[in-house]
Chains A and B, each alone.
Chain A
C-alpha cells in the first residue's frame, strides 16, 4: 500500500508552548485513520499543520511520496526551541505552501466549527468549491466562453448533492439546514475538490447517536464507493472504533499510542490518559 500522507517529526511550537511534539504518522491509500486524544492534546493543531493553516516549527510532510511541507527552527525560534529532533532538517530547503496550494495537491478538509459560506445556497456552496479546478480566466468567464465547463460543473454538483442526499434542499440557504445536514454539506463541498485524502475535523461533533450512526455509515461508504482515504479527528469513540483501520492517540502534544482499535482499547497508557476516564 502506498502512503498518501506521511508526517515526519512534526513539531509545532507557539511561543514557549509545544502544542505538537515529534508527531510521526502514516496514512496509507484506502485507509481510514483516526487521530484521538483528550481536549487540548494538539489534534486540531496537527490538522492545521497538515492543511497549511500553520507552518510547522520543525519536520516534514509528504503527500503521495513527495515532500510538500518542510521546516526547521529558525530565527528567534532557534534559541527557544523546546521540541525534539531539532537538527534533522537544518540543511534542507524550507517548503511552506499556502492552504490553497496544499488543497490543489489533492486534499480537502472540513472544519470542527462548521465553516460553510453562509449567504450561499447549498448548491452554490458545492459549486463554488470547484472554482480552483476550473480553467477559465476572468475574460472567458465574463464572456461565457467557459459555458461547457460551467455546465459540467453544475451537473457534477447535482451528482454530488444526490450522492450525499441533499438534492432536495439544493436551493435552500446553507445555514437553514439542520446541524447534521450542514456537516454533510461540508463533506460534499470537500468532495467537489475530488481529493485523494479527506480530512474530517470532528465530523460528529454535536450530533445525536442516530446522526452519528448515519455518519459512520456514510464515511464507510465514501471509502467503499469512492475509494477515498480518510484522516479524521473524533471524540465519539463508538464511531472511531467502528470504522478506523488504525488510530493515533495524542496527549499533551506527544504520541502516546498507535495501532488498531482493539490494540488501542487494550493500551494501558491510553486508558490512563483518556479512555479510562471516559468509561468510568
Chain B
C-alpha cells in the first residue's frame, strides 16, 4: 500500500515534467498556444512564491508581507552571478562591475555542459541562501512581533530593500537603478544539435525548479518540523509548554520560507530576462497573498491552483478584454486597456464570496479526490 502510494506520488510529477518538456519542443513561439508556455513559466514562479508564503502565513501563522523584498534579493543574486563576462561591461555601462564571476561560465569552462547546469543550479541556490541570510538577520528583532505588527515590519523591510538596491552608491554591485540583463535566462536554456535542431528547456527549467522546491516544502510540512510549525500557529503558549522553542521554530520557518522566496525571485529573473528592483513592489506581495488566500490558507495544492488560475486569467484567458474582442464579442469601445482588471477584480470577489476559506480550504488535493471517491462509492451503494 505504502510503496504504491510512493510510486504514484513519484510518477505524477515525472509524467508532468515529460509533458512540459514535450510542449517546450512542440509549441513554437509564433503559435497561438505559446501563451500556455508563458503561463507555465510565470505560473511556476508564482506557485513557488505562493507556496513559500503559505509555509509562513498558513502553516506557521506568521503574517509576513516581505516576500517581494526577498524575491528581489534572489533575483539580483541570480542575475549578478550569471552575467557572462563579455556582456558584463555593456550591462554595467555606468559603473565598474565589482563582482566579476559567472558561475555557469566558470563551471562550463571546467566541466562542459554539465558545468553549465551546475552553475545555474549554484546561482539559484545562492539566491535562496542570501535571501535566507537576510531573513535571519531581519528575523532576530522582527519575529518577536505578532500578527499585524509583523506584517508592517516586514512590509517596511521589503520597501527598504527595494530602495537600497536602486542606490547609486551600490551601482558596482546592483547596477544602481538600471536593470540587469543579458544573464543566463530561459531563452538561453537550449541545446543546438549537430543538424541544427534546437532543443529548448525554456519552460522545463522553471517548472522543474518549482516541482523540486514545492516537493521539498511538502516533505517539510509533513515532517516533525511541520507539526511544530502548526503547533506554533494553533497555540503558541501550548507549543512552548510542550517544549517547542518558539524563537527557533519561527526563525526556521521564516528563513526556509525566504529561501524559497529567493529561489522564486531567481526564477522570476530567468523568466522575465531582466532583473529590476522597481518591479518588486508591494503590489507583487499582495498578488502572491491573493493567490494564497484564493487557493486556501494552509493548503499547498491550493496555493499552486491559486497561482496557476491567477496567472492564466491575468495573462491569457482575459487578455481579450484589453484588446478589443473577448469570447467572440467585438467591442473595442468597452474592451479597452484596463477593462481586464475590472473583470478580474469582480471574479476574485465572487470567488471569495463563495469559497470563504479559499478554493481548497485547508485540505490538500489528494484528500479532496479521496473524498469525492468515497462519496461516489456510497452513492453507488445506496443505489444498489
Q: Which residues of A does B touch, CB under 8 Å?
A: 51, 53, 98-100, 103-104, 108-109, 111, 115-120, 124, 127-134, 136, 138, 141-144, 146, 150, 153, 189-190, 193
User: Which of chain B's residues have a CB closer than 8 A to the CB of A118?
Assistant: 234-235
Could you say which of B224, B235, B256 contacts A131, with CB atoms under 8 Å apart? B224
B243 to A142, Cβ gap below 8 A? no
- Distance A132 CA – B231 CA, assembled complex (angstroms): 12
B230 to A142, Cβ gap below 8 A? no
B237 to A138, Cβ gap below 8 A? no
Size class of the B contact interface (CB-based, 8 Å): 20 to 34
Please provide the 9 A-B residue pairs with the shortest distance between their CB atoms, ordered closest to farther: A132-B243, A141-B223, A103-B243, A117-B234, A115-B238, A128-B227, A99-B240, A131-B228, A129-B242
User: Which of chain B's residues have a CB closer than 8 A to the CB of A99?
Assistant: 240-241
B242 to A189, Cβ gap below 8 A? yes
User: Which of chain B's residues have a CB closer than 8 A to the CB of A108?
Assistant: 241-242
User: Which of chain B's residues have a CB closer than 8 A to the CB of A127?
Assistant: 227
B243 to A115, Cβ gap below 8 A? no
Interface of B is mostly: helix
Give min CB distance, A56 to chain B, whole Å: 17
Give min CB distance, A178 to chain B, whole Å: 20
Per-residue CB contact flags for chain B residues 222-256 toward chain A (1 = under 8 Å, else 0) read 01110110110111011111111110000010001
B225 to A138, Cβ gap below 8 A? yes
Give min CB distance, B249 to chain A, whole Å: 9
Could you say which of B220, B227, B235, B245 contacts A100, with CB atoms under 8 Å apart? B245
User: Which of chain A's residues have a CB closer than 8 A to the CB of B190?
Assistant: none
B220 to A193, Cβ gap below 8 A? no
- Distance A133 CA – B242 CA, assembled complex (angstroms): 10
Q: If A103-B241, A115-B237 touch, does A128 touch B230 (CB 8 Å cutoff)?
A: yes
Could you say which of A117, A129, A144 contacts B243, with CB atoms under 8 Å apart? A129
Q: If A100-B243, A128-B242 touch, does A142 touch B220 (CB 8 Å cutoff)?
A: yes
A138 to B243, Cβ gap below 8 A? no
Q: Is B159 an interface residue when CB atoms closer than 8 A count as contact? A: no
- Distance A132 CA – B241 CA, assembled complex (angstroms): 11
